[in-house]
């Protein structure tokens, strides 16, 4: 129950053949074969092509000198704050 037996598959194939026609099915299979052939040739081109060397590394600029902080004025602990 629920499985497709040989008679069911034959009827299904007959319906597909009637709907699409023999020419259309063979055309689709031909396009499918061309697609597979193109894919395989693309994959072989990828493996045949020599690997490109990595780009040259750009030398990093030297680290910047730390910014000088303004000199602080010494604070006299005995002096009162200015108003």
Amino acid 12: pLDDT: 92
Contact (CB, 8 A) for 25 and 16:
yes
User: pLDDT tens across 34-52, in order?
Assistant: 999 999 988 887 666 666 6
The chain-wide mean pLDDT, for the chain, equals: 77
For residue 33, count CB atoms less than 10 angstroms from its CB and return exposed for 0-12, middle for 13-18, buried for 19 or more: exposed
Amino acid 34: pLDDT: 94
Amino acid 32: pLDDT: 92
């Amino acid at each position: 129950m629920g499985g497709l037996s040989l008679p069911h598959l034959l009827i299904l194939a007959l319906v597909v053949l009637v709907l699409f026609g023999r020419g259309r099915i063979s055309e689709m299979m031909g396009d499918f074969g061309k697609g597979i052939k193109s894919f395989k040739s693309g994959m072989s081109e990828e493996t045949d092509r020599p690997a490109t060397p990595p780009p040259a590394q750009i030398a990093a600029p030297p680290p910047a000198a730390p910014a000088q902080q303004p000199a602080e004025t010494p604070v006299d602990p005995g002096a009162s704050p200015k108003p």
